[in-house]
Amino acid sequence: MIVCDSLVKIYKTKEVEVLALQGLDLTVNRGELMAIIGKSGSGKSTLMNIVGGLEVPSAGRIIVDGQNLAEFTERQMVQYRKKQIGFVWQKSGRNLFPYLTSLENIEAPMLAIHKSAKKRREKAEELLALVGMEHKRGSYPAQMSGGEQQRVAIAVALANEPEILLADEPTGAVDTKTSSNIQDLFRKLNRELGLTIIIVTHDMKLAHKVDRVVMISDGKISTEKILKQHYRDMLDQLESPDMTDETHEEYSVLDKAHRVQLSDDMLAAAGIDTNKVKVRIEDGRVVIEAEEKKE
For ligand ATP, the binding residues (CB under 6 A) are 11, 13, 18, 20, 38, 40-46
For ligand ATP, which is the closer residue by CB, 44 or 225? 44
Nearer to ligand ATP (CB atom), residue 11 or residue 99: 11
Measured from the CB atom, the residue of 52 and 109 that comes closer to ligand ATP is 52
Q: Which is nearer to ligand ATP, 8 or 262 (CB)?
A: 8
* Closest distance to ligand ATP from the beta carbon of 54 (Å): 11
Minimum distance from residue 50 beta carbon to ligand ATP (Å): 10
Angle, to 10 degrees, between the axis of helix 146-157 and the axis of helix 176-193? 20
Gap between the Cα atoms of 74 and 77, Å rounded:
5
Residue 18 vs 268, nearer CB to ligand ATP: 18
Nearer to ligand ATP, 40 or 176 (CB): 40
Around 200, how many Cα atoms within 13 Å sit in the side-chain half-sphere? 22
Tell the smallest beta-carbon distance from residue 178 to ligand ATP (Å): 20
Residue closer to ligand ATP (CB basis): 13 or 229: 13
Smallest separation, CB 185 to ligand ATP (Å):
22
Q: Closest approach of Cβ 116 to ligand ATP, in Å?
A: 39
Measured from the CB of residue 92, what is the shortest distance to ligand ATP in angstroms? 17
Q: For residue 227, list its beta bridge partners.
A: 248
Tell me how far, at minimum, the Cβ of 41 lies from ligand ATP, in Å.
4
